[in-house]
Structure 1
Amino acid sequence: MDCIFCKIANKEIPARLVYEDDLVLAFEDLNPQAPVHVLVIPKKHISTSLEIDSTDNALIGIMFQAANKIAVDRNIAGKGFRMVMNCNRDAGQSVFHIHLHVLGGRLFTWPPG
């Protein structure tokens, strides 16, 4: 498999890590869309959210807990932040390994682009 996020998780290519535990890893987005833009990925390869099954429930919860910790650590929790997971190309997914975008540090509008 030639997945860039698997390579980051396996430390085969570098990334600016901001969080890691046994199941998930978080790193700075290379093309930030906000002053804070961090990606949280599971170390397990899951291509899209459509592939998440009941055996992944705890893993997905851990991803959100990591995102919350990052928001607190980056001082964006109090004012507000956005968490986004895109599914498939038309929604903007460009890397087919699920990832949670943690965005903050600026005012967001609704609906998103």
Structure 2
Amino acid sequence: MPIDPTLPYDDQNIFARILRGEIPCNKVYEDDHALAFHDIAPQTPVHVLVVPKGGYVSWDDFSAHAPAELIAGFVRAVGTVARQLDLVEPGYRLLANIGGDGGQEVAHLHVHLFGGMPLGRMIAA
């Protein structure tokens, strides 16, 4: 069910619980700013979620309220994961679903890294 990104952060969402170690994940990468792990229902041969550490509902919330160090660290973590998984060449897709129209299902900012196959057009015209 799509979420409303204007609602307050819920620290019981699944990604908050994964970050606290209450729910296990198949970790790919972790540093002080982000955690990356394999999606439990992959849509492509490589499907990894990258989650910033901190209570941010959406990209809007994150970009407006996170400290610059966390924003930079999160962006660097995404790039590190893409390189670590050898996705830079031949290429990959980075996706962040935001809000109801964007299809966001978990009220914690996260990005999907898709790769391992040709991904085609982003949105059919």
The answer to whether the superposition gives a TM-score over 0.5 is: yes
Which structure has more RCO (C-alpha within 8 Å, separation ≥ 6)? 2
Q: Return the match for 2:93 from 78, 82, 85.
A: 82
Q: How does 1:56-95 map to 2 (within 5 A)?
A: 56-95=67-106
**107, 114, 119: which one aligns with 1:108:** 119
1:27–1:50 distance in 2 versus 1, CA, 3 Å: same
Matches of residues 1-113 of structure 1 in structure 2 within 5 Å? Answer: 1-52=11-62, 53=64, 55-112=66-123
Moved over 3 A (4+): 54-58
Identity among equivalent positions (%) equals 36
Counterpart-to-counterpart distance in 2, 1:9 and 1:23:
11
Give the distance between the partners of 1:97 and 1:90, measured in 2 at CA. Answer: 16
- In 2, Cα distance between equivalents of 1:44 and 1:54: 10
Q: Give TM-score, length-normalised by structure 2.
A: 0.81
CA RMSD of aligned residues (A): 1.6
Opposite residue 109 of structure 2, the aligned amino acid is I
After alignment, is 46-55 or 92-101 more displaced? 46-55
Cα separation, 1, equivalents of 2:21 and 2:117:
31
The size of the alignment, in residue pairs, is 113
Any stretches of 5+ residues in structure 1 without a counterpart?
A: none
> TM-score, normalised on structure 1?
0.89
**Separation in 2 of the partners of 1:55 and 1:13?**
24
What are structure 2's unaligned runs of at least 5 residues? 1-10
The higher radius of gyration belongs to 2
3-state DSSP class of the match of 1:41?
A: strand
Q: Which amino acid aligns with 2:95?
A: V
